[in-house]
Amino acid sequence: MKTLVIAEKPSVAQDIVRALTPVAGKFDKHDEHFENERYVVTSAVGHLVEIQAPEQYDVKRGKWSFTHLP
């Protein structure tokens, strides 16, 4: 099974490939991604997540705290 790595943008995907190559081996470059025996590295274009408007937050939680994390 391969690990999928999704970078914020294409230049970051290239940086990740450069960082992984010494330990994971050579990557083949395809049109939209890089791939080797262990990894598929690709990138997104645009925001994957966004901040919600204040009125969309659950006010029952009150002030933010680490205890709110799973």
Position 27 confidence tier, pLDDT thresholds 50, 70, 90: very high
Q: Does the residue 70 lie in any domain?
A: no
- In total, the chain counts a number of residues equal to 70
Q: How far apart are CA 54 and CA 70, in angstroms?
A: 22
Question: Residue 41's domain spans which residues?
Answer: 1-46
Q: Does the residue 54 lie in any domain?
A: no
State the pTM of this model. 0.69
Number of separate domains in the chain: 1
What long-range pairs does 43-52 form, CB within 8 A, spacing at least 24? 43/6, 43/7, 43/8, 43/9, 43/10, 43/12, 43/13, 44/6, 44/7, 44/8, 44/9, 45/9, 45/10, 48/6, 48/8
Mean pLDDT of 29-56: 89
Q: Does the residue 59 lie in any domain?
A: no
| Residue that wins the pLDDT comparison between 12 and 48 | 12
Q: Does the residue 66 lie in any domain?
A: no
Position 22 confidence tier, pLDDT thresholds 50, 70, 90: very high
Per-residue tokens: 30: 């395809």
